[in-house]
Amino acid sequence: MTDKLFKVVGTSKLGNGYKVRWANDLVTRFKMLHKGGHTDIELFDLPEAMTKKAACEWLVEQEAFASKMTEDARYAVTSKLDEYNKVGKREVKFSLSEIASRPTIGQQEGTTSVDQYIAEHQ
């Protein structure tokens, strides 16, 4: 997630789906979305510059969230907020040497090992 700050948050519909939108200028962002074919554009000025996560949290707390936005737009916002709040994100690191050093399961009778296969087909 980025630490970039935004002054505008909202949603728009393009095709069949709603997405959360962030911007720093409401009028310019509205024009760009409209020109791009977006519909049901709902953008809100934030009280101060915020991160994407903080902006979503602010939006969920607003009265307009329940009154002005469609159910699908609200779902897009809450889904994005859930994505930001996921617990246990971790990076998986491994090396080929670590994998090669792992114990192997005994080879069944009548099967060919990888080394034998390579030697036979060179």
pLDDT tens-digit readout, 5-57: 999 999 999 998 999 999 999 999 999 999 999 999 999 999 999 999 999 99
Query: Is it the case that residue 93 has pLDDT exceeding 90?
Result: no
pLDDT of residue 9: 94
pLDDT tens-digit readout, 96-118: 777 777 777 665 555 656 667 77
Confidence of residue 76 (pLDDT cuts 50, 70, 90): very high
pLDDT of residue 113: 67
Annotate the chain with DSSP letters as a single string. -----EEEEEEEEETTEEEEEEES-HHHHHHHHHHTT-EEEEEEEEEEEE-HHHHHHHHHHSHHHHHTS-HHHHHHHHHHHHHHT-S--------HHHHHTS--PPPPTT---HHHHHHHT-
pLDDT of residue 87: 58
Domain ranges across the chain:
6-84
pLDDT of residue 112: 59
Q: How many CA atoms lie within 13 A of 87 on its CB side?
A: 0
